[in-house]
Structure 1
C-alpha cells in the first residue's frame, strides 16, 4: 500500500525529469521530458543535454525474445539507448533497443526508430528513414521565424491571428 502511495505521489508531484532520474535514466542539463515510458530497464537509457522528448514516446531496451523461449527458456537480450545533445523527439515515437541517436537530430512524431541515427539528421516514418538534415531545415524555417518565444498566451494569440497567410509554413 505504501509503495502505491509513493508511486502516486511521484507521478503527481515530481517533474518528468525527476521521475526519470529516480528510475535510473541518465539525463543531461536543460532537458524537457514530457509523459514518456522508459520501459522496464530505464537505467540502460542515457540522454544528453538540451533534449526534448514529447508525450507518448516509448523506449524499449529489450524485446521479442518471447518467440524463442520454448527453445531457450532463459533467453533474454538487451540494448542500451543513447541520445546525443540538442535532440527533439516528437510525440509517440518508439525508440528500439540498441539505438544511438546522434546530436542535432529531429525524430518526427510517430516514428519507429529501429536503427541508429547519425548527427544532424531528421528522420521519420515506420521504420524511420532520413528525410532531411538540420541545415536544410534551418534554411527552410528561418523566413517564418515570428519571434514569439517567451510571449504570453494572449500576446502570441494576438500576433498569430493578425498575420497574413504567407507568414505561415505551408507543406
Structure 2
C-alpha cells in the first residue's frame, strides 16, 4: 500500500471520527446544505451523485445508494451493463434509522421517511413514507398538528435536572394499540 493511499485512508477516518457528519459527507463529495444533522457515513461508491438540502436529518444506519449493483449479472458481447442515478433530498427532511434510499429517488421538502423504510420511488413534498417498499402513510402537516397538540414542549421540561431525570418526568407510559 502506497503512502498516498495511507494518507487518504487516515484523512477519511479523521473526518469520520472528529468532524461532523456533514463535514464528512462534504469531504467524500456529497453536496450538503446548511444546518444538517448527518449521522451516517454510508454514501455508497458515488457520493458526488448525492445532494442534500438545508435542515435535513439523516439518522444512523441510513444507506443512500446511487447505482444498481445487480447489473453485475447482466453481460453480453458488449460487456457488463451499468446504471447510475442521482439521489436528491430537499430541505426540511427527516430520514429515520436504517432507511435505504435507492438510486434515482428524490425526496421533496417537508417530508419524513420512517425508520427501516426502503424508498424505491420519489417522495412528494409534505409526505410521510414508511415500509418496504415505502408508501405514503400520512401527511407531514397532520403529524405536526398531532405533535403540537400532544407532545411535551421544551419549555415544559426542567433543564436544571439531569437528562435522565428530565425524561422520566415526561415519558409516556402508554403503549400503542395491538396490530390487527
Q: TM-score, normalised by structure 2?
A: 0.84
Q: 2:11 matched to which residue of 1?
A: 6
1:1-171 matches, cutoff 5 A: 1-63=6-68, 64-70=70-76, 72-148=78-154, 152=159, 154-163=161-170, 165=172, 170=176
Whole-Å separation in 2 of the counterparts to 1:71 and 1:106:
44
CA drift at 1:130: 0.5
CA shift, 1:143, in A, is 2.1
String of CA shifts for 1:1-32, please: whole Å, max 9, x gaps: 33332232222212211111111111111110
Structure 2 stretches lacking a partner, 5+ long: 1-5
SS at match of 1:37: coil
Q: Which runs of 5+ in 1 are unaligned?
A: none
CA offsets 1:95-147 (integer angstroms, 9 cap, x no match): 00000001000000000000000000000000000000012112222222312
Question: Structure 1 residues 153 and 60, CA, compared in 2 at 3 Å: closer, same or farther?
Answer: farther
Length-normalised TM-score, structure 1:
0.88
Distance 1:59 1:164 in 2: 33
For residues 138 and 71 of structure 1, do their structure 2 counterparts lie closer, same or farther at Cα, with a shift above 3 Å needed? farther
Change (3 A) 1:65 1:151: farther
11-20 vs 43-52, greater mean Cα deviation: 11-20
Task: Count the aligned residue pairs.
Answer: 170
Q: 1:40 to 1:158 in 2, by over 3 A?
A: same
State the 1:161 CA deviation.
Answer: 2.4
